Structure 1
Amino acid sequence: MSVTVTKTGGHTAQITWTPDDDPHGYLAAAVESDQLAYALQSLGDTETGHSTPTATPEQALAATAATLSLARLLERRAAVQVVVLKDGHDLTWRPMAEALLGDASKQSSVRRMYDSGRRHLGR
C-alpha cells in the first residue's frame, strides 16, 4: 500500500494515495465528507468534549456522527484484517490477542472480531 502521511512542518501533514489503494472509495469518501477531518479533530479534543466551544449543537452533532461513522468503518476493516491474519497468515489466537489487544488472555475477543470479519466478507 502506498498511502503515505508526510509531516510537512509544524502541525501539518499531507496524505497521499493511489487509486489502487482505495478500490472501494473509502479513503476518498472519508476525505470528501469531512469524516477524516472530524475524526482527527476528535483525537485532539479535550477529554470532556469538543475543543471548539463556539460549535453549535448541530455542528457538534455532525462532527460526532462523522467520527462515529468512520470509527465503525475502521472496526469493520480491522475485523476483516483479523480474518486475513488467521486464514492467510495462519496466526493463532493467543499471539493475535497479545499483539492486537495487549493481552494474550483476550483470545475470545479476537475470535469475535474474526467472526465479524467473516460475516463482512460473506463467509
Structure 2
Amino acid sequence: MSVIVEKTAGNRAEISWSPAEDDPRGYLAKAIESEQLAYALESLGASETGHTEPTASEEYATAMAMHTANLAQLLERRAAVQVVQLRDHYGLSWRRIAVALFDDADRQSSVRRMYDSGRRHLGV
C-alpha cells in the first residue's frame, strides 16, 4: 500500500502519500484540507451515547453528518470501481467478490449492482 497511515505515539497518527501517484484526482488532499476526513473519523469513533445525549452544537453535528455522508458516498463510488477491477482485470467470480466484500456468497446481486455502478462511474 503506497498510502501510509502510521501510528506515531499514543493517540496520534501520521498519513503520508505521493500526490502524483496515490491521489492524482486530489480526493485524499481534499478530504484532509476540507476536514472531511477528520469529521468522518470523529463520527467513526463517537460513542453510541452521543446519539441519545448529544454534546455538540447543532451546527457542528450537522457539519459532521454532512462530511461523513459525503465521504461515505465517495468511498461507495471508489468501492464500485474496485469491483469492476476485481471482475474485469483479475477475473474474479461474482461469488468470490461477494465473499470478499460481504462475507456472504449469496450477495452476488449486490456485487453486480456495484459493478454496474462502477462501470457508469468509469464511463464504460
Q: TM-score, normalised by structure 2?
A: 0.93
Runs of 4+ in 1 over 3 A off after TM superposition: none
SS of 1:15's equivalent in the other structure is: strand
Residue identity over aligned pairs, in percent, reads 66
How many residues align? The count is 123
1:5 is the counterpart of 2:28: no
**Which of 101-110 and 39-48 deviates more?**
39-48
SS of equivalent residue, structure 2 residue 50: coil
Partner residue, 2:123: 122
In structure 2, the partner of 1:32 is 33
Paired residue secondary structure (2:104): coil
Matching residue of 1:71: 72
What amino acid is aligned across from residue 21 of structure 1 in structure 2?
D
The code of the aligned residue for 1:33 comes to S
CA drift of 1:9 comes to 1.2
User: Deviation string for 1:49-89 (max 9, x for gaps)?
Assistant: 36x94421011101110000000000000000000000011
Structure 1 residue matching 2:118: 3-state secondary structure: helix
After superposition, the Cα gap between the structure-2 partners of 1:94 and 1:31, relative to the gap in structure 1 and judged at 3 Å, is same
Tell me the secondary structure at the aligned position of residue 7 of structure 1: strand
Which ranges of structure 1 fall in alignment gaps of 5 or more residues? none
Q: Which runs of 5+ in 2 are unaligned?
A: none
The within-5 A match list for 1:1-123 is 1-19=1-19, 20-49=21-50, 53-123=54-124
After TM superposition, the score normalised by the length of structure 1 is 0.94
